[in-house]
Amino acid sequence: MSNALLGSLYPHHLQTLQTRTAEALQRSGHDHLLIPSGTLHYQAFDDRDYPYAVNPQFKAWLPLTQAPGSWLLITPGQRPKLLFLQPHDYWHVVPEMPNGYWVEHFDIEVIRNADEATRLLPGVFRCAILGEPQSALGSYVPNNPEPVLQYLEYHRAFKTPYEIEMMRQASRIGARAHRAAERAFRAGSSEFGIHLAYCQAAGQDANDLPYGNIVALNDHGAVLHYTHRDRLPPKPSRSFLIDAGASFGGYAADITRTYSAADDEFAAMIRAVDAAQLTLCDMVRAGTDYARIHLQAHLLLAGVLREFGVLKVTPEEAVASGVSSAFFPHGIGHGIGLQVHDVAGFAATDAGGTIAKPDGHPYLRLTRTLQPGMVVTIEPGIYFIDMLLDELKAKGLGDAVDWERVEAFKPCGGIRIEDDVVCTEGEPVNLTREAFAEG
């Protein structure tokens, strides 16, 4: 992607943020929006810092993800100002002077230490300051006024064309790395080796990636957030589930794929889940209640389990009784953008309120009605998890399951397929499938 394209889209993005900010400040009675980029945190009783994570409110405005100690000042009707910390330091790499398509839209002041920012900031009384407590600078303490946060976070669900392009680029990086990971699996690598192959192909290490890679071989695929990464490959290596993303300019991709080592019955089940997943992706349409996609996922996945002989009851009976939740225990997905699990997933309005989750589905992360500009993940899964299957038996629902079929699939752990999908005025845009199709 050329900087020319991003440069052409960025002014509209900036104007959208300015318009949202003006409304948010009017609601809260503040004159200025101050956003610290965040600071380094040190481990207890040590001089080592934790990996730096930029304030999402900061990187919404500009693609700076490694600028600790900097500040943004937004005043309606004026150019935004960046106070960029570029310290004199020979112990560490000093952040380079900002450059690129976005800098012409900002007044940029370089400061050499954090305290210098105080002389360049307006009076604190009329400021809405969005950040973590550790970002406090003298009297400039983050106050995170609710009207501002509620408004900005609610509307952050609606991505600008610039943001969609940023996420498209993150998806391209992720797809490239996923292909490398599959090659490493086929070559017999360990979980740790596959993880390294992924990072190498993405050009991103653990601190750059938007979340910790889930690299699971065989029955480890039944651990939803498996991050242990064995150093030696299992023998035999039957299956591979990888949930791994990529970052671009502060935006995230979140992609999951599952593979079988052989063209066997588990491979056929993967193909069936993939087909169901594509059906669910097609439901990402304006006006659709996201919770309805989640409930439809239960019905489709129960159908897959019935097709492969795991369930003895109909899909409708499996969903109504809660049997399907033992095999699909998580939500169908979540919003994604500046954060992997983007904010305001349950917001009823931009002034507050909550849209409840459906009864019996506690892990759904998004309950809003989809509208153009929203980007969500669609990630159905089938897992063979002893703890949940034991609970099924304890509830007296064991007769709904063919336990011999469960034992046949259990060594492969589980299946999850996940794409990032844009809701539009018409057909959804699947950023993940786009990226894989580019080769």
Instruction: Indicate whether 412 pLDDT > 70.
Output: yes
Instruction: Indicate whether 18 pLDDT > 90.
Output: yes
| Sign of the CA dihedral with 395 first, then 305, 217, and 407 last | positive
Please state, for a pLDDT cut of 70, what percent of the chain lies above it: 100
Record the tokens describing residue 439, joined without a space.
């080769």
pLDDT in tens, 29-52: 999 999 999 999 999 999 999 999
pLDDT band at 93 (very low <50, low <70, confident <90, very high): confident
The answer to whether the pTM exceeds 0.85 is: yes
Contacts of residue 423, Cβ cutoff 8 Å, sequence gap at least 6: 284, 285, 286, 370, 371, 372, 373, 374, 375, 376
Q: Do strands 81-85 and 347-349 pair parallel, antiparallel, or not at all (unpaired)?
A: unpaired
Cα–Cα distance for residue pair 240/225, rounded to 1 Å: 14
Candidates 3.30.70.260, 3.40.50.720, 3.40.350.10, 3.90.1150.10; CATH matching 3-155: 3.40.350.10
Cα–Cα distance for residue pair 376/371, rounded to 1 Å: 11
CB 157 within 8 A of CB 334: no
Q: Residue 58: which H helix or E strand, with range?
A: helix 56-59
pLDDT band at 439 (very low <50, low <70, confident <90, very high): confident
Which whole-number Å values give the CA distances from 75 to 25, 111, 126, 252, in the listed order?
Answer: 9, 20, 11, 28
pLDDT in tens, 193-234: 999 999 999 999 989 999 999 999 999 999 999 999 999 999
For the chain, where do the domains classified as CATH 3.90.230.10 start and end? 161-437
Nearest to 124 by CA among 105, 109, 111, 137: 137
CB 52 within 8 A of CB 73: no
Instruction: Indicate whether 1 pLDDT > 70.
Output: no
Is the preceding omega at residue 56 within 30 degrees of 0, hence cis?
A: no
Per CATH, domain 161-437 is 3.40.50.720: no
Average pLDDT, the chain: 97
Count the Cβ atoms, other than its own, within 10 Å of residue 222: 21
pLDDT at site 3: 87
Using alpha carbons only, give the angle 289, 294, 298 rounded to the nearest 5 degrees: 145
Instruction: Indicate whether 190 pLDDT > 70.
Output: yes
Per 3-state DSSP, what percentage of the chain is helix, strand, and coil (rounded to 5)?
40, 20, 40
Instruction: Indicate whether 283 pLDDT > 60.
Output: yes
Average pLDDT (325-329) is 98
pLDDT at site 354: 97
For the chain, where do the domains classified as CATH 3.40.350.10 start and end? 3-155
Cα–Cα distance for residue pair 344/147, rounded to 1 Å: 13
